[in-house]
Structure 1
Amino acid sequence: MEHPTRIFIDTSKQLFQLHGVDAGEKVVIRRQLRRREMIPFFTRLAPTVIGLEACGGSHHWARELAGLGHQVMLLPAQYVKAYLKRGKNDGRDAEAGCEAMSRPTMRPVPVKTVQEQAVLMLLATRDRLVRSRTQLTNAIRGHAAEFGLIAPTGLDKIEPLLERVAADQALPDLARDLFAGLGRQLLALQAQIVEIDARMAAHHRADQTSRRLARIPSVGIVGAVMLAAKTPDPKAFRSARDFAAWLGLTPKDHSTAGKTRLGGITRAGDEALRAVLVCGAMAVIQNAKAGRGQPWPWLNRLLATKPTKQVAVALANKTARIAWRLMVSGQDYDPSRRLAAPSQQPA
């Protein structure tokens, strides 16, 4: 077998499809390996360039293959899709990936370390617990409403609702027992979330970048940890606008024939990170409307002419640009620069 200059691996749980070409773009590898065969095969292979789609498990394989002396590229799945020919199977997926990784303009995803993935697991665990808590409180409200018991909105209103249910002797014993069980589940979830938040706070205190990002008015501990953990090498972005575009906070471009047409935000990138930035912006806007906190002249001018949610996206865009600058320069947040108007607002 001739030595391949690059190999792409289409991964799955147990089967891995390989497609490799030599320096003349001739196919020299087209085979399928099982999981247990991966390490022995690439141990015998001379160092080469290996590509994988950036998906679940890909960072693990990237670290393993890099440890064997290979150069590993992780490609976003949407970039590989453009090179897929008619029909879809594992072989053609691997062929498309092999073609995609040869493009000089291809932008690979940085390989995460085990420590970085541990922090991402912490964030994902917290998100799952919060979603479970929301689902459970909605279930409690819904069941209570069937018995004519209505509570105001807010997480802090659930406990009084459960107390009303327990004291209502008109309810069947079965219903009150089930509500008590739901209440115990809620208490257990609350305790888990408190534990996760304590771990996140400890990580935040130990991470210098996260501490600096938390000084931005619309960024809290959760947002700072997410920005520091989910952002790849900040210096890989050419500008703050590129970073905002990576987060999906810049307008869609539908321009043609010399006519510029900008639409709503692209919503590309990490949805959770973008949502945290927008939620933080909404909190700042609510304080600004109520006259609380420090003044935001340009923000108040926008609120006078634009819808609130559109202004929140504009502020999230500005926050993302500030965060990028802090990560690249290593500087601390300067509150005096908050008075400057953003150079460009997303549509």
Structure 2
Amino acid sequence: MEHGITVPAGPAHLKKQIPSLLEDAANLLSARMRALLVELRDEWKKLEEQIEGIDQELAQTATKEDNCRRLLTIPGIGPLTATALSAAIGNGTAFHQSRDLAAWLGLVPRQHSTGGKSRLLGISKRGNPYLRKLFIHGGRAVVARVNRGNHQFGSWLTRLEARSPRNVVVVAMANKLARIAWAVLTTGHVYSAAACT
């Protein structure tokens, strides 16, 4: 901005404008600044290639392992979540019921009881924060993308959205995904939309 050069916010805009910034001899960028931009652009490109390679490796790993293949049949669960959950809990038999897994992930409401009255608060956020974040992102994807008319989640999501804020709906969906994942892992069956309620 000191030299009158502005780029809209976001990596896509910057990636698009770097070549024209480097080629424009009329702008007031010094030779050192141009060299630094070239170095940063090359480093950025290398990081993107490394990320793409790791993503492909995770996808291959997920398709080779039986637990991960079954988890991938659940909407909102991709290779990253499938491999992380499988590595963390194996076949899920350490948990006696699906609610135990959801509680371990911190996707259940906290309770506060006083004077014989019990109040439900926000989620407990106990357990594995990385897996919780992955499930919440998966829940957000399902809420945003699932075809409400053709999927078992559709009517449940619509009813829940009518009475709850968006983030509550997302966390409820993440909780449901965790419970389905537990069922898929412990039974050894693939996910079936018809079996979900």
TM class, shorter-chain normalised?
A: 0.7 to 0.9
Unaligned ranges ≥5, structure 1: 1-143, 341-347
Aligned partner of 1:318 among 167, 176, 187: 176
Aligned mates of 2:2, 2:111 — CA distance in 1: 46
Aligned to 1:306: 164
Bigger Rg, which one: 1
Shift of 1:293: 8.2
Contact 2:71-2:181 within 8 A present in 1 as well: yes
Shift of 1:254: 1.6
The verdict on how the C-alpha distance between 1:314 and 1:183 changes in structure 2, with shifts beyond 3 A counting, is: same
User: What letter matches 1:334 in structure 2?
Assistant: S
Aligned mates of 2:194, 2:79 — CA distance in 1: 22
Aligned to 2:95: 237
Secondary structure of the corresponding residue to residue 260 of structure 1: strand
Unaligned ranges ≥5, structure 2: none
User: What letter matches 2:100 in structure 1?
Assistant: D
Contact 1:213-1:326 within 8 A present in 2 as well: yes
| % identity of equivalent residues | 35
Q: Deviations over 1:121-155 (max 9, x none)?
A: xxxxxxxxxxxxxxxxxxxxxxx7985422353x4
Aligned to 2:40: 182
Q: Work out whether 1:199 is the aligned partner of 2:57.
A: yes
TM-score (norm. length: structure 2): 0.88
Shift of 1:304: 2.3
- Structure richer in helix, relative to its length: 2
What's the Cα RMSD here? 2.2
Greater alpha carbon shift after TM alignment, 188-197 vs 225-234: 225-234
Shift of 1:330: 0.7
Q: Work out whether 1:163 is the aligned partner of 2:19.
A: yes
Secondary structure of the corresponding residue to residue 7 of structure 2: coil
Large movers: runs of 4+ above 3 Å = 144-148, 155-158, 291-295
- Structure richer in strand, relative to its length: 1
Aligned mates of 2:128, 2:192 — CA distance in 1: 27
Aligned mates of 1:240, 1:164 — CA distance in 2: 54
TM-score (norm. length: structure 1): 0.52
Higher RCO, 1 vs 2 (CA within 8 Å, ≥6 residues apart): 2
Correspondences of 1:109-124 after superposition (within 5 Å): none
The verdict on how the C-alpha distance between 1:315 and 1:254 changes in structure 2, with shifts beyond 3 A counting, is: same
Equivalenced residues, count: 193
Shift of 1:183: 0.7
